[in-house]
Amino acid sequence: MPDDCLIYLVRHGATAHNLLDPPRMQGRHIDEPLTDSGQSQAAQVAAALAGKSLAAIYSSPLKRSMQTAEAIAKHHEMPVTAVEDLAEADVGKWEDRSWVDIEANDNAAYLAFREDPVANGYPGGENLRQVTDRVVAALNQVAANHLGQHIAVSAHSVVNRLYLGELLHVPIAMRRRLPQDNCNLNIIRWRAHKQSVITVNALDHLAR
């Protein structure tokens, strides 16, 4: 429809930090590239989108996201546009740490964050309202520029969860429960006054 923008929202492929057991947070300052398996995931989501009529491809400026977007772009012979406000959350002092480590060794801050991640954000970083506000503004502007078209957006776990949660009216403290696997596919139908989430965390395109 001419007043719609269809957004294919992807989480980037796997990095070394994602593949650790338990995984460690990268935030916006650890700028790792994709691993071999992450590149394979990116190729698979790119193949799933190869037949779509994309008008534009956007990405967080971080390497893991840009490399995923560039894999998609190869099928469409178009550039990737980096959007600074789609970068992952600044997780402050919790960068390069796992949730297991944080819960065990920084328990008071961990519990405060779980209870209210707006009042008690990432120590030394952003709170989830700040991240939500910048991400929603950035994606809404991008979508408004492409009414009647389809676009792909490559971003991050926290970024995607917060945007999807905003559209689904999920309280911020609960949005971490929204699944966002590496190189998943979310589909959003965007209108100026109404946004509909069609698909969350689709994984059928990935090899098992």
Q: Which residues does the annotation place in the binding site?
A: 11-18, 64
Residues annotated as binding site for substrate?
11-18, 64
Cβ neighbourhood burial of 34 (10 Å; 0-12, 13-18, 19+) = buried
Rounded Cα distance, 159 and 136, in Å: 9
6-26: b (≥16 Cβ within 10 Å) or e:
bbbbbbbbbbebbeeeebbbb
